[in-house]
């Protein structure tokens, strides 16, 4: 004697089994893509597994504070991209994106040179998830506290 399910419950079980199979396939696919689907390599990934000199890769990370300097020609810049673990020196000639600045995110298309410097032929600025009004940025810490205190009084 087998307990017979109501047709409604039969369909529910069938759909759940199908969904589990689809989600399983999706998770496997995402897992398989975990490296290929990344838009860029972090400095520590680049240092741990260096690409051949001249091989096109995309590097992404933070522009280290204080590392940015511009050559006498005015368009060649040198800076260091770091991720807290490894650092890669980068050089680039061309127009910088508006949001490019020290302490902010960047991705660089290019290749490693034999000199250990990453030669970029394209830069994109990366914005992070923080949104701060411009007025607050120019204030000192004390002024900010004052504004907040006034607002909450």
Annotated binding site: 127, 131
- Examine residue 98 and tell whether it contacts another protein (CB under 8 A): yes
Pairing relationship of beta strands 87-93 and 118-126 according to DSSP bridges: parallel
From residue 101 to residue 120, what is the string marking binding to another protein with x (rule CB under 8 A)? x--x--x-------------
Choice between 13 and 115, CB closer to another protein: 13
Measure Cα distances from 19 to 12, 16, 123 in Å.
10, 5, 41
Please state the residue numbers annotated as binding site for heme.
127, 131
What is d(CA 39, CA 6) in angstroms, rounded to the nearest whole number? 49
- Examine residue 93 and tell whether it contacts another protein (CB under 8 A): no
CA atoms within 13 A on the CB side of 145: 3
What is d(CA 68, CA 78) in angstroms, rounded to the nearest whole number? 6
Which one of residues 57, 86, 97, 102 is an interface residue with another protein (CB under 8 A)? 97
Q: Minimum distance from CB of 141 to another protein (Å)?
A: 15
Which one of residues 72, 132, 142, 149 is an interface residue with another protein (CB under 8 A)? 132
Pairing relationship of beta strands 76-82 and 105-112 according to DSSP bridges: unpaired
- Examine residue 127 and tell whether it contacts another protein (CB under 8 A): yes
User: Interface residues for another protein in 69-88 (CB under 8 A)?
Assistant: none
């Amino acid at each position: 004697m087998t307990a017979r399910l109501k047709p409604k419950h039969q369909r529910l079980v069938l759909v759940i089994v199908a969904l589990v199979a689809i989600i399983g396939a999706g998770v496997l696919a995402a897992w398989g893509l975990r490296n290929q689907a990344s838009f860029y390599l972090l400095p520590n990934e680049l240092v741990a597994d260096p690409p051949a000199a001249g091989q096109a890769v995309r590097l992404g990370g933070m522009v280290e504070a204080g590392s940015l300097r511009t050559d006498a020609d005015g368009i060649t810049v040198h800076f260091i991209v770091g991720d807290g673990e490894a650092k890669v020196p980068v050089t680039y000639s061309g127009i910088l994106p508006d949001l490019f600045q020290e302490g902010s995110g960047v991705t660089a298309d290019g290749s490693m040179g034999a000199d250990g410097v990453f030669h970029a032929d394209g830069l994109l600025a990366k914005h992070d998830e923080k949104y701060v009004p411009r007025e607050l940025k120019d204030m000192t810490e004390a002024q900010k506290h004052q504004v907040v205190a006034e607002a909450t009084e």
